[in-house]
């Protein structure tokens, strides 16, 4: 049960398209259950086809992200107050970074780097995922699929839609070298993603099964009480094949985008 998607404190927060994926644990399928839809309004669960998103992203944008990779920041911790320690500041920053690493990384069940100042704020410590490809090759069909949480995690997009996440929980997305992804790229990904979103009006007792290797999902804002849950599972030991080598990209595009 993901309580965050039902909390009233986050009812006004739009959860964008994302996959459930890390390099340590990847779920192949999800069973999304509606115990109770939002009692007043909103809260629709929604999905989008990653193969269609891949097809409609501009080739130059796709190749840019594919070649350079992406890294996702999953939390912020503002530690500017450590500057008051004067000559002890640097040691204190390193000490705090170690403490945060031990406390945060296990909760996300993934490898994270604790880095100061990535977003231009030298006193901000961010927990950042390792470099990853925004594309996977579906383990059964072999079809390349958009497999990236940029639509949900990019701060540029979050700042322009309903968001009630506190600063410590704000996320962002960077290139693999931690440089900023330009707004034009983020807006294009947003437009293509929104084009393929399908809202689902689920009623109590409804269960939706999705292929996590292909479909992305999210949730609209809501008012009232809402209770949804999800169970993740897979058939065996299959793992997604992350497509990382930039050389085959043109072949993938020529094969599947006609």
Q: Choose between 23 and 173: higher pLDDT.
A: 173
pLDDT at residue 258, as a whole number: 40
Structural domain for 11, as ranges: 3-69+131-256
**Any idea which of 18-27, 37-46, 172-181 has the lowest mean pLDDT?**
18-27
Judged against a pLDDT cut of 80, whether residue 248 lies above it is answered with no
Q: Choose between 233 and 153: higher pLDDT.
A: 153
* Rounded distance between C-alpha atoms, residue 68 and residue 221, angstroms: 33
Q: Choose between 87 and 33: higher pLDDT.
A: 33
Residue 80 lies in a domain: no
Average the pLDDT over 30-42 and give the result. 94
Question: 238 is written with which tokens?
Answer: 């299959």
Q: Choose between 23 and 183: higher pLDDT.
A: 183
Average the pLDDT over 49-66 and give the result. 95
Average the pLDDT over 226-239 and give the result. 79
pLDDT at residue 244, as a whole number: 54
Q: What is the CATH number of the domain that holds 152?
A: 3.60.130.10
Residue 109 lies in a domain: no
- Which tens digit of pLDDT belongs to each residue from 86-142? 777 787 778 777 877 777 666 656 678 889 999 998 888 898 999 999 998 888 888
Residue 105 lies in a domain: no
Residue 78 lies in a domain: no
Report H helices in the chain: 50-56, 59-68, 89-108, 150-153, 155-158, 183-195, 249-256
**Any idea which of 94-103, 189-198, 223-232 has the lowest mean pLDDT?**
94-103
The number of distinct structural domains making up the chain is 1
Q: Choose between 255 and 61: higher pLDDT.
A: 61
The whole-model pTM stands at: 0.85
Residue 100 lies in a domain: no
pLDDT at residue 243, as a whole number: 54
Residue 160 lies in a domain: yes
Cβ distance 168 to 75 under 8 Å? yes
* DSSP secondary structure of 196-223: T-EEE---TT-EEEEETTTEEEEE--EE
Of 114, 20, 25, nearest to 73 by C-alpha is 114
* Rounded distance between C-alpha atoms, residue 123 and residue 70, angstroms: 23
Number of residues that this document lists for the chain: 258
- Which tens digit of pLDDT belongs to each residue from 72-91? 998 888 887 777 777 777 87
Confidence label for 257 from pLDDT (cuts 50, 70 and 90): very low
Judged against a pLDDT cut of 90, whether residue 234 lies above it is answered with no
pLDDT at residue 251, as a whole number: 58
Residue 39 lies in a domain: yes
Residue 106 lies in a domain: no
């Amino acid at each position: 049960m993901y309580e965050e998607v039902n909390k009233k404190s986050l009812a006004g927060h739009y959860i964008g398209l994302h996959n459930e994926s890390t390099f340590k644990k990847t779920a192949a399928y999800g069973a999304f259950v509606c115990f109770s839809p939002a009692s007043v309004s909103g809260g629709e669960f929604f999905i989008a086809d990653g193969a269609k998103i891949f097809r409609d992203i501009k080739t130059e944008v796709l190749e840019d992200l594919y070649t350079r990779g992406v890294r996702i920041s999953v939390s912020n911790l503002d530690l500017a107050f450590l500057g008051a320690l004067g000559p002890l500041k640097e040691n204190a920053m390193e000490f705090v970074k170690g403490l945060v690493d031990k406390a945060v990384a296990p909760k996300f069940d993934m490898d994270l780097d604790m880095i100061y100042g990535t977003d231009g704020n030298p006193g901000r410590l961010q927990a950042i995922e390792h470099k990853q490809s925004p594309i996977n090759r579906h383990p059964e069909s072999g079809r390349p699929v958009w497999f990236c949480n940029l639509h949900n995690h990019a701060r540029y997009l979050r700042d322009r839609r309903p968001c009630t996440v506190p600063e410590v929980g704000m996320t962002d997305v960077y290139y693999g070298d931690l440089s900023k992804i330009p707004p034009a790229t983020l807006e294009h990904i947003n437009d293509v993603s929104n084009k393929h979103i399908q809202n689902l009006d689920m009623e109590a007792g409804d269960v939706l099964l999705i292929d996590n290797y292909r479909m992305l999902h999210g949730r609209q804002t809501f008012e009232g009480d809402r209770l949804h849950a999800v169970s993740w599972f897979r058939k065996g030991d299959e793992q997604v094949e992350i497509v990382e080598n930039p050389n085959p990209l043109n072949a993938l595009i020529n094969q599947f985008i006609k």
